[in-house]
Copies of this chain bind each other. A is one copy, B any other.
Amino acid sequence: MASTIYLGLVHYPIYNKRNEVIATAITNFDLHDISRTSRTYDIKRFFVIHPLESQTALARDILGYWREGGGGRYNPDRQEALSVLEVAPDIAAVIRRIEEAEGSSPIVVTTDARRYPNTVSYTGLRRRLEAGRQPCLLLFGTGWGMEKTLMAQFDYILEPIYGRGDYNHLPVRAAVAIILDRLLGSEWWLSRD
């Protein structure tokens, strides 16, 4: 019985390009792309985390259109994808929701371009998720990354994604896709010719 996986997209506290702590805006494209990728990899819920009611109201409007409005009739696949999405004001509220649903606290994991003392490999985390002792909350930052005292509170930090060459500015939507595939994708292709 593998771990139940939850995803969170964090919009505060986030660094901007001048290293100031800000709240980033919720974007329509993140909601759609990350919901579709989440459904493909059987994520239990994808939380959009933002402290401002004006921003979460926007997310709820988009959800309403796809869940009850014209969007669902036009594209039922999209409606199904967005059924995974939920808004939350902060990470603590997300953890409480998971504790209520699962009866135990999740391990909290994120990713970063730097290495930390609690950095974990993809294979290592994959094995741990397959053992299934605890649910897992995978958090992704927006902007220029999550504020550093927040980063220090997580259980594990995944290894940076190395491509080829020295450019390292993947969209968060692409990072989510790659990381879910590394952690949860069908493993057969690793060993087959």
Contact = CB atoms under 8 A, between A and B. Distances in A.
Interface of A: 17, 29, 32-33, 36-37, 39-42, 75, 77-78, 80-81, 121-124, 127, 159, 161-165, 167-171, 173-178, 180-182, 184-186, 189-193
A160 to B, nearest CB: 10
A-B residue pairs, 3 tightest by C-beta:
A174-B177, A40-B163, A42-B164
A123 B190 contact: yes
Nearest to A191: B123
Contacts of A163: 40-42, 180-181, 184-186
Contacts of A37: 170-171, 174
Given A162-B186, A185-B178, A40 B169 contact: yes
Count of this chain's copies in the oligomeric assembly: 2
8 contacts: A32-B171, A40-B168, A42-B165, A81-B167, A159-B189, A161-B181, A161-B185, A163-B184
Contacts of A182: 181, 189
Contacts of A192: 121, 123
Nearest to A81: B169
A159 B190 CA distance: 13
Contacts of A165: 39-42
Given A161-B185, A181-B178, A189-B122, A173 B170 contact: no
Given A40-B167, A41-B165, 16 more contacts: A29-B29, A33-B173, A40-B164, A40-B165, A81-B169, A121-B193, A123-B190, A161-B185, A162-B185, A163-B180, A163-B181, A164-B184, A171-B173, A174-B176, A178-B181, A190-B190
A171 B121 contact: no
Contact of A177 (B29, B36, B78, B177): B177
Nearest to A169: B77
